[in-house]
Structure 1
Amino acid sequence: MTQTPDPDRESYTLADLKTLMARLRDPETGCPWDLEQTFQSILPHTLEEAHEVADAIEREDYPHLKDELGDLLFQIIFYSQIGTEQGLFDFDAVVDNLVRKLLRRHPHVFPDGTLASRIDPDNRPDQDAIARSWEQIKAAERALRDEPADAGPASRLDDIPGALPAMVRAEKLQRRAARHGFDWPDIGPVFAKLEEELGELREAWSEALENPDKRDALEDELGDLMFVCVNLARFLKVNPDTALRRTNRKFETRFRAIEAALAEQGRELEQESLEALDAIWQSVKGVENKR
Structure 2
Amino acid sequence: MMTSARYTFGGDEHLFVECSEEMSLEAFFKSLSMATGVRESKINGVTEICPANASFQVKFNPDIIKPDDILREVQKIEGAAEKAEPVLRTRIVEIPVFYNDPWTHETLMRFRERHQEPEGTDLDYAAKINGYSDVEGFIAAHHGSPWFVSMVGFVAGLPFMYQMVERQRQIEVPKYLRPRTDTPRLTVGHGGCFGAIYSVRGAGGYQMFGITPMPIFDASQTTSYLREFMVFFRPGDIVKFKPIDREEYEKTVDEVDNGRFSPKSRDVSFDLREFQKDIDGYNKTLEGLLHGH
Please report the TM-score for the alignment, with normalisation by the length of structure 1.
Answer: 0.23
Please report the TM-score for the alignment, with normalisation by the length of structure 2.
Answer: 0.23
When Rg is computed on C-alpha atoms for both structures, the one with the higher figure is 1
- The structure with the largest strand share of the pair is 2
